[in-house]
Amino acid sequence: MTMALHPKPAGAFRLLHTADWHLGKLLNDRSREEEHRRFLLWLIDAVQDHQVDVILVAGDVFDTANPPNSALEQYYSFVAALHRAGGCSLVVIAGNHDSAAQLEAPRRALQSLGAYVVGALPVAPEERLIPLPSADAPRVVVAAVPFLRDRDLRIGRAGETYDDIQTQLVQGIERVYTETASAYRERFAATGAPLLGMGHLTVLGAAPSDSERAIHIGGLGSVPSNRFPDDFAAILLGHLHRPQNPGGANSACSVWYSGSPIPLSFSEAEDQKQVLILDVNPQGSGELWGTTSVTPLPTPATRRLVQLRTAAGRIEETLAAFDPNTAELPTWVEVIVSEASTVDDLSARVTEAAAGLPFEVVRVVRADRLVPDAAERDTSGLSDAEVIESLTDDPRRVFEELLTRETSLEPARAESLRTAFARLLDRYHQQQESGATR
């Protein structure tokens, strides 16, 4: 069942914005396949219930550049089911987790099913524009700008500082959207069809969760919300997993993150997950219905993620008293323990205390390990194994942890090493992406 939504205005063209599916995602060692299956079934129903004309997926369809076969099957099964349902197109751009080449490989076949896929940035700005429902009679023009990799935005040179890199990245992103808007003015502005921008990037002032990977060298590719051209009626983004409208009324155009449709980490446990609905004015005035009040449509919470806090001396009592209020699937719990000694085997205690209870404990962490930036985390008194266990799968955090231990490093030298490591990490991700298509 979907939440009640205002009726589709007569003659309007309705869009649904979603992003960051991360098909194939694991939470620790737990598969999210069933949650994704239920979301995609719900999405097909939502399209039919609310007369959606096009779905916009703003990147990170998959969690890795080499997704498991089960994730690929989910994606292609969804595209086929959407086509069979009839009347709804699909626009998909690549995110930083996706392999651009793999996503684009079946592009021509998918287009015959009404799905438009843009993995790598088209060189010609006009090729980034997708007029819908057709070029002859467009109701909306979508600027399908995929995740912009470092090589799309700048040419790296020896001796560059963090400030140099940041300036080049932001200017490069601005240039891409400016060129795309110029192509729209030349080809489609006279039709009155509004321009909607897609992207997969970070806007300054937006709030991340702990499940996003830094997407440019050192995380420097963050764009102010007022730097998008006024030609765009709205910018619909992926990458940040919390739904939000950074910049608000101060933006030159309306900037929106739909967020991920399911919580991808325990830091998102309290977020209301959603997709966004936009309606294009049927009068052809180039405006949207409710541009400043894009309508959220909550996605079903098929599984609860809960962060349960307790002191070491109250583990058994806290777990016994917890009411999981389980949804369709069993609740998963992260137990955060304070006041624990370094010799206390918390995992064993929690596992024993939770045996037979109506929820699953997925993760046990010490409260003093929750600071996301390793440079700010106090790891004194912890063994190397404990520190490594407390880090996520983000190699950047591991490197930051190592830098904090090198107390003799000069700040300038540390910054130089951080930049060099970020370059190597970016090269590694490029090689992983290339390997996904071999």
In this prediction, residue 28 carries a pLDDT of: 86
Instruction: Residue 234: give the domain boundaries.
Output: 13-298
Q: Which of the listed residues 298, 323, 351 is the one where a domain comes to its end?
A: 298
Share the mean pLDDT of the chain: 84
Same domain? 46 vs 69: yes
CATH number at residue 161: 3.60.21.10
In this prediction, residue 208 carries a pLDDT of: 66
Same domain? 238 vs 384: no
Q: Is residue 7 part of a domain?
A: no
Same domain? 161 vs 61: yes
Same domain? 314 vs 292: no
Q: Which of the listed residues 298, 317, 335 is the one where a domain comes to its end?
A: 298
Give, to the nearest 10 degrees, the angle between helix 411-435 and helix 395-405.
160
Q: Is residue 82 part of a domain?
A: yes
Per the model's pLDDT, the better-predicted residue between 431 and 363 turns out to be 363
From residue 86, alpha-carbon distances to 54, 61, 404 in Å are 11, 22, 56
Same domain? 357 vs 215: no
Mean pLDDT in residue range 409-434: 66
- Check pLDDT > 80 for residue 287: no
SS3 of residue 268 by DSSP: helix
* Residues 91-104 pLDDT 10s: 999 999 999 999 99
Q: Is residue 420 part of a domain?
A: no
Lowest mean pLDDT among 153-162, 227-236, 261-270, 344-353: 153-162
Mean pLDDT in residue range 208-226: 60
Lowest mean pLDDT among 213-222, 286-295, 406-415: 213-222
Q: How far apart are CA 36 and CA 55, in angstroms?
A: 17
- Cβ distance 88 to 74 under 8 Å? no
- Cβ distance 330 to 359 under 8 Å? yes
* Residues 367-395 pLDDT 10s: 876 544 333 344 433 334 434 444 444 56
Give me the helices (H) in 251-366, please.
315-321, 346-354
In this prediction, residue 384 carries a pLDDT of: 44
Number of domains the chain contains:
2
Same domain? 73 vs 170: yes
Same domain? 322 vs 283: no
C-alpha of 161 from chain center = 28
- Range with top average pLDDT, 152-156, 204-208, 320-324, 396-400: 320-324
Q: Which two tokens stand for residue 204?
A: 């300054």
pTM for this prediction: 0.83
Residue 3 per-residue DSSP state: P
Q: Is residue 112 part of a domain?
A: yes
Same domain? 95 vs 240: yes
Same domain? 217 vs 364: no
Mean pLDDT in residue range 325-350: 88
Same domain? 279 vs 325: no
Tokens 């040179």 belong to 157
Per the model's pLDDT, the better-predicted residue between 207 and 359 turns out to be 359
SS3 of residue 118 by DSSP: strand
Q: What is the DSSP string of 352-393?
A: HHHTTSSSEEEEEEEGGG--SSGGG---TT--HHHHHHHS-S
